[in-house]
Amino acid sequence: MKYLVASGLPSADLPPGCRVVADGEFVSLEQPWDFGAPLIALVDDGADLAALKKPGVTAFTVEGQLPPGEGKAYAIGAHRMRDAEAFKPYIARVPDVIAPYGCRYIARGGAVTPLCGAFAPERLVLMEFPSADDVVSFYFSDAYAPLLRIRLTATEPRFVLMARSGALPESARRAVADGLARGRASL
Report the DSSP pairing between strands 58-63 and 112-116: antiparallel
**Could you tell me which CATH class the domain 2-186 is placed in?**
alpha beta
Nearest alpha-carbon partner for 139 in 97, 169, 107: 97
Give the pTM.
0.94
pLDDT at res. 184: 57
User: Per-residue confidence of the chain (187 residues) as pLDDT tens digits?
Assistant: 999 999 999 999 999 999 999 999 999 999 899 999 999 999 999 999 999 999 999 999 999 999 999 999 999 999 999 999 999 999 999 999 999 999 999 999 778 999 999 899 999 999 999 999 999 999 999 999 999 999 999 999 999 999 999 999 999 999 999 999 987 554 4
How far is 31 from 185, CA to CA, in rounded Å? 9
Report the DSSP pairing between strands 58-63 and 18-22: unpaired
The domain ranges of the chain are 2-186
Residue 111 falls in which region: left (phi positive, over 0), alpha (psi -120 to 50) or beta? beta
Nearest alpha-carbon partner for 158 in 75, 91, 94: 75
